[in-house]
Structure 1
């Protein structure tokens, strides 16, 4: 059985005026920087301002809970959310979100893995911070009316992260960095009228998604992501094609083919089936609950549902390789449509 190894990342996101398209194993040391693009990839300053989208998403999970955090800058506005899903009670204990002004209330780092980088949101009675230190640890700080988090993510322990760079129909290009499971230490505090409840995160894992692109006004995708010790994957079907489809198996990063999603969009808490056309992944997803959001402002709109649950089935490193059974692997799926 021979694994297909991905090449090392390019020196920069843009080379000789072109996006450095491809899939790579490792971190983009120079960060996300689209300067230097030349025709036919150039656009006006106003187009770039309105179409440059960047976000950092962090998923944290263990046997008891799943936490999703994100800070998003879409050019003309910014938003942040933090939710905590209680897996034992099958209930969303916290579902907080807030909008703001980019540059004033939020900053999304072009390289959230780099020492000294900071991604943050400041809102009404709320603060989110993701800051990386020289010790290769990311400090996670969340302070909202219902939820506090003080935790530390160990970036030094990560398997090779995926870097994907590629063209976008109706836009210019997109780039994303994604990790598999990372060790976590810290705690979450739930605040309520009856007092507070402290939840240890020392047995949880964390997975980081940093994305940055010059995207189309209409953008849609389906996504699945799940991680645990020695096994994790990321799948996307939609605006980015199969660029970010990857499997982590015992520390090896393995590219995957095009993803297939079979689910009932009207009833997203019914089971999902996800697979890849190269025969390396075939999984059933059983949702336990979901975060949903739908907005229509006229000039902009979004529909978003992110179920939390577990995957079962199998993965393998090559078409002729042995199947690795997957049981109760915690993760998420997502159905997302935006006009932004």
Structure 2
């Protein structure tokens, strides 16, 4: 099944969102142009508009993730580096933007640049020539200089309705060739030969939002799965340079022990994987106006995928990636 090409805007000329899954890059996420029943006033949009830009970097030794998150009334960031050889998180950094003490912005589309800057932190996710991307990070205990791309497979664009919110859209990449370096208090780590991927999301979400997520990529195949506020809208498999839409995903795991094995499968019988965690980043926060509960295990996937229910199974062996259990009141 071939996906249609991505529209330039995720909102049509009639003001209605263009729900569906597409191959390619959208240029505009123009929520103010929405018509009824999806239109909302400016104050509501300001409080419910959420955007984030997330980048994953994976090598045989290292797994890193960096994210900038705009929740509407403030912007936050996090970054971590995990040593796969000994299960040690060598750096685990997060920062909330404090009024008057930071400069931050998440791009209005995946084609733009995102940044976060304070006195001791600098993060930039930028486009580079030739269809590539750059990530630069300077924060306490860690530095990253990475370049990734170009992509051998198209981006996924997924748009859909959100219960309690209005609409949401996301762009996910396949696995991207990676070069660069990560520097921590322990050592310097080359990224050359590794794999990057990214998640750009932009939508009008509910006050309380929860999801389970799984993502794993190499340069030959990869997948993105979500169960929660966005249903099956963004579930997809990258295989042989093509995007294959997947059905609803099920996550079977122990919420009290997220480092135990996870069983993840889709209802269309096109993916069945066991995830074995090697470690995890956790963060629970309870602020006056917001709260979150977050755990992101890192590890490997084993099992099989296929391009159609009647297609041969393709074995997945020791594919590095992450799962996530996340709740936010924002």
1:121 aligns with 2:119: no
Partner of residue 311 from structure 1, selected from 282, 295, 301: 301
Instruction: Specify the SS of the correspondent of 2:31.
Output: coil
Distance 1:133 1:313 in 2: 35
1:243 aligns with 2:213: no
Distance 2:309 2:128 in 1: 40
The 5 A counterparts of 1:194-233 are: 197-233=187-223
1:286 aligns with 2:284: no
Distance 2:32 2:7 in 1: 15
Aligned residues: CA RMSD: 1.3
The 5 A counterparts of 1:53-202 are: 53-101=50-98, 105-112=103-110, 114=111, 117-154=112-149, 156-191=150-185, 197-202=187-192
Q: CA deviation at 1:33?
A: 2.1
Greater shift in the superposed pair: 96-105 or 82-91? 96-105
Task: Indicate conservation of the 8 Å contact 1:98/1:123, yes or no.
Answer: no
Residues 47-96 of structure 1 show CA distances to partners (whole Å, capped at 9, x for unaligned) of 11110000000011011010010000000111001100000011111000
Instruction: Specify the SS of the correspondent of 2:147.
Output: strand
Normalising by structure 2, we get a TM-score of: 0.97
Normalising by structure 1, we get a TM-score of: 0.94
Residues 289-334 of structure 1 show CA distances to partners (whole Å, capped at 9, x for unaligned) of 0000001114211000000000000001111110011110000000
Task: Indicate conservation of the 8 Å contact 2:151/2:174, yes or no.
Answer: no
Aligned residues: 328
Partner of residue 224 from structure 2, selected from 234, 242, 247: 234
Distance 2:194 2:128 in 1: 21
The answer for unaligned runs of 5 or more in structure 1 is none
Distance 1:296 1:101 in 2: 16
Distance 1:239 1:34 in 2: 18
Distance 1:201 1:111 in 2: 26
Distance 1:315 1:135 in 2: 31
Distance 2:66 2:175 in 1: 16
Distance 1:101 1:48 in 2: 21
Distance 1:296 1:331 in 2: 28
Task: Indicate conservation of the 8 Å contact 2:164/2:205, yes or no.
Answer: yes
Distance 2:129 2:29 in 1: 20
